[in-house]
Amino acid sequence: MGKMSVKDWADNVVKEEEIDRYLENGKDFIDHDAIERHLDNNKKPDKIKVRDIIQKSLSIERLDPDETAALLHVEDPELWQEMAAAGLEVKRKVYDNRIVIFAPLYCSNLCVNNCLYCGFRKDNTHEIRRVLTPDEVRMEAESLVKMGHKRLIVVYGEHPSSDADYMAETIKAIYEVREKTRKGTGTIRRVNINAAPLSVDDFKKLWKAGIGTYQVFQETYHRPTYKKMHPVGPKSDYRWRLYTHHRAMEAGIDDVAIGALFGLYHWRYDVMGLLYHAMELEKRFDGIGPHTVSFPRLMPADNAPYSEHTDHLVSDEEFKKLVTVLRLAIPYTGMIVTAREKPDLRKEVIKLGCTQTDASTRIGLGAYSEQYDRQDKERQQFVLGDTRELDDVVRELAQMGMISSFCTAGYRCGRTGDKIMGLLKCGTEGKFCKLNAVLTFREWLDDFSSPETQKIGEELIRKEIGEIRKDAFFRNNPLLKEFEDYYQRVSEGERDLFL
Ligand code: SAM
Ligand code: SF4
């Protein structure tokens, strides 16, 4: 950074030309009036219309704004039940019964922004600030590998001390980790990141470092609320954030993930914002929509007034509704529910068609390797709702008939971007996923599970293999033979075999 002050650095983050070139006639893709109009015109939708929309979603077609607005206004509890069931069906068609497991790793909590809801905001003097060194990051990753994790989302505050070069260095440190497990060797196989918007050149550094998905949340698509919540710093620029996925794609990162922080503005509006975002990415990038959509809910954060007092806090019932509508509106996308939510609600929301969740989560800086209290409020961004261990989450999912997948094959076989979108939309990706989910679940059970989880897991694996053998897609397909061979080898201790 040379002699540049933190303020000068922050003042130079936003590059207008890397916003302007994506605008159409000087406008961005969030058309506030159109969103309001769609929401106004679709109040009290009739049953037949809603059922037609459900059918469209079941054929894995993305819904239009009018259709999505209609679903958002359903009042009949019976229809909500039908929508919830359809959401799970959509998820089964695209992703089968697997849930991808990941863990967050927080590397830094220094931040030049002052988001009014976040414990890391610069004016929060209670927060203990820290930027982990690459060695400390490696130690965190070692602890995560020992727990059985293979896939991380690495999280950074926005600050010159955690710039793109630092991110690239931490990614490298994580990929280098090797830990002995009961039967094999454990590694982190996919590093996704959640970090502030970057320039195209900075994204290229991350791409070179081998990142999986680039995730960033718009927080709210409602401009006046956005402005109020993000008073200073680069994050106060709505459009710099809105077009960050465009820049990431331009730099070669073709898995991008969007999200909104629910509770800042009205949930119906932000569901529409997410839909518009997905439509824009599809339009600009040859049909490649967001790899995942996240819908974090505002949680209490230390010394962050707006984390507990906004006019738009989302109730559990509303939360379930918004997840249901998102599932139906963007049927091909992955959906992430996090440990922000309490165990019972998380379980319910998974049944609405989520595809990914985190486990054994600690969001304090250094909290995995240093083992301090995981709810220590001065060290973390907000308070978690579910701090259960990975083994408990895997067991609960298995009891629900869902297989925990530690698979990272899609990305490593080049099934990303347009390739994965095509496969997802036609249901083929789900087939690969099922095979890889079984292989990684076999590894995990042998390397990490408690006896209780092992027992339930074995039953599930038997059932899965039975289904694979019966599936017409695999009959006379050389993949089946290859799978059986890999399964045998993984059972004998070989690791990281995927299809
Ligand atoms: N600093 C980067 C940024 O803001 O994009 C990336 C990391 S930030 C720590 C990750 C996300 O945490 C934010 O995008 C926001 O949605 C979420 N978050 C912040 N405060 C929260 C709170 N009180 N409750 C729940 N989620 C919160
Ligand atoms: Fe900083 Fe991100 Fe927290 Fe905002 S949400 S204060 S940008 S860490």
Same domain, 315 and 240: yes
Q: What is the extent of the structural domain holding 186? A: 6-26+98-414
Residue 155 CA: nearest ligand 1 atom is 7
**Closest CA relative to residue 53, chosen from 317, 273, 300, 331:** 331
Residue nearest to atom 4 of ligand 2 (CA): 115
Give the domain CATH number at 283.
3.20.20.70
List residues near ligand 2 (CB under 6 A). 111, 113, 115, 118, 120-121, 157-158, 196, 235
**What pLDDT shows up at residue 100?**
94
Residue 169, both tokens: 């260095």
**Residue 257 belongs to some domain of the structure:** yes
Q: Which ligand is nearest to the CA of 120?
A: 2
Domain boundary among 414, 439, 468: 414
Residue nearest to atom 8 of ligand 2 (CA): 157
User: How many domains is the chain built from?
Assistant: 3
Residue 157 CA: nearest ligand 2 atom is 8
**Residue 498 belongs to some domain of the structure:** no
**What pLDDT shows up at residue 38?**
98
**Residue 328 belongs to some domain of the structure:** yes
Same domain, 51 and 149: no
What are 274-324's pLDDT values in tens digits?
999 999 999 999 999 999 999 999 998 888 988 888 899 999 999 999 999
Letter for the amino acid at 293? V
Q: Which ligand is nearest to the CA of 156?
A: 1
pTM over 0.85: yes
Ligand 2 centre to CA of 484 (Å) is 46
Ligand 1 centre to CA of 118 (Å) is 6
Residue nearest to atom 6 of ligand 2 (CA): 121
Same domain, 331 and 405: yes
**Residue 200 belongs to some domain of the structure:** yes
Same domain, 290 and 397: yes
Domain boundary among 87, 108, 132: 87
**What pLDDT shows up at residue 308?**
85
All residue ranges of the chain with pLDDT < 70 are 1-2, 371-380, 410-429
**Residue 496 belongs to some domain of the structure:** no
Same domain, 204 and 158: yes
Domain boundary among 414, 449, 471: 414
**What pLDDT shows up at residue 477?**
85
**What pLDDT shows up at residue 363?**
87
**Residue 1 belongs to some domain of the structure:** no
Same domain, 51 and 15: no
Same domain, 316 and 211: yes
* Torsion sign across C-alpha atoms 317, 319, 325, 331: negative
Same domain, 409 and 431: no
Same domain, 175 and 45: no
**Residue 347 belongs to some domain of the structure:** yes
**Closest CA relative to residue 214, chosen from 175, 171, 173:** 171
DSSP one-letter string for 54-121? HHHHHTT-PPPHHHHHHHHT---HHHHHHHHHHHHHHHHHHHTTEEEEEEEEE-B---S---TT-TT-
List residues near ligand 1 (CB under 6 A). 117-118, 120, 155, 157-158, 194-196, 216-217, 219, 261, 296, 298-299, 301, 304, 307, 340, 381-382
Same domain, 135 and 55: no
Mutate which of 109, 114, 217, 241 for ligand 1? The one with the most ligand atoms within 8 Å of its CB, which is 217
Same domain, 194 and 54: no
**Residue 63 belongs to some domain of the structure:** yes
**What pLDDT shows up at residue 424?**
60
Same domain, 395 and 453: no
Residue nearest to atom 18 of ligand 1 (CA): 118
